[in-house]
Amino acid sequence: MPEGVTFAFRSEASRFMTTPSPQPFLSYRIVWWLLFGVGIGPFLWLARAVIQNSLGPDPAEALMHTTGAWAIRFLVVVLLARPLSQWGWPVLFRTRRLFGLFVAFYASLHLLVFAQVYVGWSGAILAEELTERPYVVVGFVAWLLLLPLSITSLHSLRRRMGRHWRSLHRSVYLIALLATLHVLWLSRSDVGDALLYALAFGTLLGWRFVVFWRKSLRAKQSS
């Protein structure tokens, strides 16, 4: 996992827990650690399964599938944060960057397993995989796009970037599209998961379009 992602986890924890809490009966520190536990839980389960050798007849395939699946699931959570905040549940919105880092974390694990098991850190084999399997290219591009998003999640970098930060982080929808294509190409005949991800991302993107359209309409009416 890139060192920037690890540092971003520490920065996000510090920023979150030093923010004054508006809720007297529920400490945001407790909420943050609970949500961190949700995010790290799949990794701990995988580590335990690896140690106990209980990942089934094909451990590499299980590792690839599980890390990739959780990267996409947490990406759905990140995109759900804003609509949920407008529907009266702002906690997830305040911790969306935490889950964004978990997206990068599990995507990086997914890539590391692929590099170790299927490529063996060989440039020649990697070039062959990229040429013959388009889903590898799509997944790798999605991971590359995740890197600047995870690095710029640092609070100090966000302040320096100003409005450009929002422009950069809108690429999360392109990442969602690439992730869905990655799963779809891998699915072959069983496309159930890919369709569920496509439905989730399509609904969330549609919601964003509706919000943007309403803002544009109000701006025209006020002018």
> How far, in Å, CA of 36 to CA of 98, rounded?
8
Residue with tokens 């379009």: 209
pLDDT of residue 45: 96
> How far, in Å, CA of 57 to CA of 86, rounded?
45
Lowest mean pLDDT, pick from 1-10, 71-80, 169-178:
1-10
Contact (Cβ atoms closer than 8 angstroms) between residue 106 and residue 42:
yes
Residues 10-46: tens digit of each pLDDT: 555 555 545 444 444 457 778 888 999 999 999 999 9
pLDDT of residue 1: 53
How much of the chain, in percent, has pLDDT values that exceed 70?
Answer: 84
Structure confidence at residue 68 as a pLDDT band (50, 70, 90)? very high
Dihedral, CA of residue 121, residue 53, residue 33 and residue 2, to nearest 10: -10
Q: Is the pLDDT of residue 165 over 90?
A: no
Mark residue 188 as left, alpha or beta (left: phi above 0; alpha: psi -120 to 50; beta: remaining). Answer: left
> How far, in Å, CA of 182 to CA of 194, rounded?
9
168 vs 71, residue with greater confidence: 71
pLDDT of residue 53: 92
pLDDT of residue 21: 46
Q: pTM for the whole thing? A: 0.81
8-state DSSP, 27: -
